[in-house]
Amino acid sequence: MFSFNLLPWALVALTPALVAAIGDPFGQAAGTTGGGSATPATPSSNAELEEWLSDSTARVIVLDSIFDFTGTEGTTTGTACAPWTCSPDPQLAIDSNSWCENYQPDATTSTVTYDSAGPSPLVVGSNKTLLGSGSNGGIKGKGLKITDGSNIIIQNIKITDINAQYVWGGDALQIDGGSNIWIDHNYFQHIGRQMVVTGYGAVTKTTFSNNVFNGEGTYSATCNGRHYWVGLFLGGGDQITFALNYLYKTSGRGPHVGGTDGYYQDVHIYNNYFVDIEGHAIDAGVGAKVLAEGNYFNTVTTPLLEDDGEAYVPSSDEVSACSATIGRTCVANTFTSSGTPSTNVANALAGFTDSVSEGATILTAQEAADYVQANAGVGIVN
């Protein structure tokens, strides 16, 4: 019988309410300390939050409520185009940097008004812990951006409602270059573009764990009430652990890795619970190496999209092939009422010969499904 207490990161449930980040980062982000022993403090205003996140002081910033940026910077009226002509309620694309002229020249255009706070994220510097208290600490109407930052923990935070009707209306979390970053137990919903995204700068020693990616919403690029733009990892040398996350009612990019010539990424995707995905989950484009193991795909149309990258997403009869490259068998994925991957590429395993990947503690897919449903998202750790 599986016991949660065998998991080092599950011990957090037994820890009294602490104010520093809770539990130990695992996977690539192991050793990350964020703001460390800085005295925890709650900002008194949006402006103070903005200052504390971006300055060069090590800080533990505790959010005990939602810091709402909606409307704080007024609105912008401009052109949008309609790349998706499905119905009902397609997302429109704001014409940022002539995107419509360059990529959708034939799309119908219209004039739209959107919230100006959405496309300009809060800057997060190095040596920070951003920690939610209880189940309703977070940021609304604006996201976060890390550029070449290191030693950052973002835990137990909700990020929601960023111009969800509009692509280019804002991302929830961008990381363009960085290392030692732990994104844990957060909740994302109603975002215009990406829930999480890395830019071309390398993002290393980074773990996304125990997060909820809730794709349910009115506006969608696929017009099925499901968010398409979940995760996108693009960097030149990304080395990322993506584990124990809960993705539901999405339709794409769950996550999309790679896709640009000359850039390469190693993303270890394990013990996630994917449910009710009308579209695709994992998409490995050119440059990507993805190892996905011990995941539970429940009612997922396409667990692995056919693309140009290398992905190994084994079922039980394919796990033994891992031994030759990573020195252990992989843990099988489970596919229930779901499609099955048709393009497993064993060469993807070459991206996971480091001690962190080879030595990872990986639950069975069923154990992961149970654990994730009980433990992902906000209100669990603090």
Nearer of residues 125 and 255 to ligand NAG, judged by Cβ: 125
Nearer of residues 136 and 150 to ligand NAG, judged by Cβ: 150
Residue type, 47: A
Among 126, 206, 265, 334, interactor with ligand NAG by CB under 6 A: 126
Place of tokens 């390469």: 264
Size (the chain), residues:
382
Q: How many CA atoms lie within 13 A of 379 on its CB side?
A: 7
Joined together, the tokens standing for residue 114 give 């959107």
Closest of 369, 188, 361 to residue 272, by C-alpha: 369
ω into 43 cis (within 30 of 0): no
Catalytic residue among 59, 193, 253, 328: 253
> Minimum Å distance from CB 149 to ligand NAG?
8
> Minimum Å distance from CB 59 to ligand NAG?
10
Binding mask 86-115 for ligand NAG (x = CB under 6 A): ------------------------------
Partnered with residue 129 across adjacent β-strands are: 60, 153
Should residue 180 be labelled a site residue for ligand NAG when binding is judged by CB under 6 A? no
Should residue 56 be labelled a site residue for ligand NAG when binding is judged by CB under 6 A? yes
Nearer of residues 21 and 365 to ligand NAG, judged by Cβ: 21
Radius of gyration of the chain (CA): 20
Among 91, 116, 127, 245, interactor with ligand NAG by CB under 6 A: 127
> Minimum Å distance from CB 151 to ligand NAG?
6
Q: Give dist(CA 297, CA 363) in Å, integer.
A: 14
Q: Give dist(CA 10, CA 327) in Å, integer.
A: 26
Q: Give dist(CA 368, CA 294) in Å, integer.
A: 7
Joined together, the tokens standing for residue 132 give 């939610």
ω into 105 cis (within 30 of 0): no
Should residue 251 be labelled a site residue for ligand NAG when binding is judged by CB under 6 A? no
Stretch that binds ligand NAG, among 20-28, 82-90, 119-127, 219-227 (CB under 6 A): 119-127
Nearer of residues 181 and 322 to ligand NAG, judged by Cβ: 181
Stretch that binds ligand NAG, among 70-78, 80-88, 90-98, 120-128 (CB under 6 A): 120-128
> Minimum Å distance from CB 56 to ligand NAG?
4
> Minimum Å distance from CB 36 to ligand NAG?
8
> Minimum Å distance from CB 38 to ligand NAG?
11
Catalytic residue at 253? yes
Partnered with residue 80 across adjacent β-strands are: 94, 110
Please spell the DSSP secondary structure of 220-267, one letter per residue: BTTSSSBBS--EEE--TTEEEEEES-EEESB-S-TTEE--STT--EEE
Nearer of residues 23 and 125 to ligand NAG, judged by Cβ: 125
Helix, strand, coil percentages (3-state) for the chain, rounded to 5, are 15, 40, 45
- Cβ-based neighbour number of residue 9 at 10 Å: 22
Instruction: Please work out the total of residues on this chain that contact ligand NAG, with binding judged by CB under 6 A.
Output: 5
Nearer of residues 38 and 321 to ligand NAG, judged by Cβ: 38
In the range 284-303, which residues lie near ligand NAG by CB under 6 A? none
Active-site residues, by number, are: 253
Which residues of the shown chain bind ligand NAG in the complex (CB under 6 A)?
Answer: 56, 125-127, 151
